[in-house]
Structure 1
Amino acid sequence: MAVHHIAIGVVVAKKKLSNPWVDHEWAPAAVLPGVPAVEPWTFIGREGETESWYAGPAELSFHSGETAHYRDNLVSGRPSIWVALREDAEGRWQVAAVTADPYEGEAFVDTVTDRVEAVPMPHEVMVELSAFFEAHHVEEPFFKRKRDRQDPDSMGSRGIGQPGKFRRDPGPGDGQ
């Protein structure tokens, strides 16, 4: 099975909340094609009450067995990368996983403590994913299963009409 890896950078947003128990939340916001030459958790900028931070690098892997899933992502109208953030023991958020497989991305939400978002796929990543798809996709034909035909003569006598076989004997309360 062919595998292709791409290094990407992950940008997260720190959003101020109007909540008496929590003052902010972190959420994946974007991915960058390639890894920038800055340290993880570098402040990028602020827009209103939302701060952008470079969370760090991640490795995006393409697997030849999943090309049909990648095709579904590419033709969806909004190709995306799913990013999962996970809080570590010290209370810092880390990039837990990234994927271009929409079904794997959907499975990320099964870990309820992770913050998962589908962010837009950068054009450069889309080009690499399309090239990987073209090089490795093999269309699997659909075969409808057919039931085995049973030979009526091989079934033997069903015993219809014999007491205790396939018919209900009258019981108490049946009016007899």
Structure 2
Amino acid sequence: MPVGVVVRRRPGATRWAKWSWRPVALLPGAGPAEWKELRREGEVVDFHAGTLPLTVHRKETGAYLEALSARPPSAFVVLRPGAERPVLHLVTASPFLAQDHLDAGDEIVERLEMPPALTAWLADFVDRHHVEERFRKRRRDEVDTELVEDGRGDPRIRQAADVYRSPAGRKR
């Protein structure tokens, strides 16, 4: 589904950042646009920054259930730093994918409330494709621990006592 992203530009809080950019709204089913000005109040401007596809996959329905169960149901927008203004990178309904982008630290990741149309569309997709998987605890491999001599140290050292001795200083 194509989703438009509204980004708000306001004056920066410090002298090092001229502008502060923040995604503020989603527009499901929006047409193409590139930084089209929507509203202006003094120096604060709302732009339709662009439209990206919100792509969903059958195997990730567990992540979408997390997004739908949040109050309010949420989607995530990722902006990357650009020369003059940020670059619209991704719109996702997966909080796990959003977390991956937060780990990098240089991208703006914003959680936004899903509009009702987007919530209904995603809930319908999850209802049709979600398969509950039973939790299965993995078993460890059967390893014979008697075959490994543990705590022996460096095999190049002949005496076991040398493993624990601190190195002697060299005389020059």
Listed as ranges, the gaps of 5+ residues in structure 1 are 1-5, 150-154, 156-176
Query: Aligned partners of 2:94 and 2:130: how far apart in 1?
Result: 14
The count of corresponding residues between Structure 1 and Structure 2 is 143
Equivalents in 2 of 1:148, 1:36: separation in Å?
A: 54
SS at match of 1:61: coil
Question: CA shift at 1:134, angstroms?
Answer: 0.6
Residue among 3, 7, 11 paired with 1:8: 3
Q: What is the alpha-carbon distance in structure 2 between the residues aligned to residue 70 and residue 12 of structure 1? A: 23
Residue 15 of structure 1 aligns with an amino acid whose one-letter code is R
TM-score (ref. length: structure 1): 0.73
Structure 1 residues 148 and 105: CA distance shift in structure 2, 3 A? closer
Paired residue for 1:91?
84
The sequence identity of aligned pairs, in percent, is 36
Two-structure CA RMSD over aligned residues (Å): 2.2
Letter in 2 for 1:35: A
- CA gap 1:148/1:53 in 2 versus in 1, 3 angstroms: closer
Map Cα deviations across residues 73-124 of structure 1 (whole Å, 9 max, x no partner): 1111121111011133x43322111110011111111232211101111111
| Higher mean displacement: 13-22 or 26-35 | 13-22
- For 1:101 and 1:26, locate their aligned partners in 2 and report how far apart those are by CA, in whole Å: 22
The residue aligned with 2:58 is: 64
Does structure 1 retain, via aligned residues, the 8 Å contact 2:75–2:92? yes
Letter in 1 for 2:80: R
Distance in 1 between residues matched to 2:108 and 2:140, nearest whole Å: 46
Question: Residue 103 of structure 2 aligns to a residue in which SS?
Answer: coil
Correspondent of 2:134 among 135, 138, 141: 141
The amino acid across from 1:87 in the alignment is P
Consecutive unaligned residues of structure 2, counting only runs of 5 or more, are 147-172
**Match of residue 33 from structure 1:** 28
Higher helix share: 2
Tell me which residue corresponds to 2:48.
Answer: 54
Cα distance change of structure 1 residues 94 and 147 upon mapping to structure 2, 3 Å threshold: closer
Which residue of structure 1 aligns with residue 168 of structure 2? none
Moved over 6 A (4+): 146-149
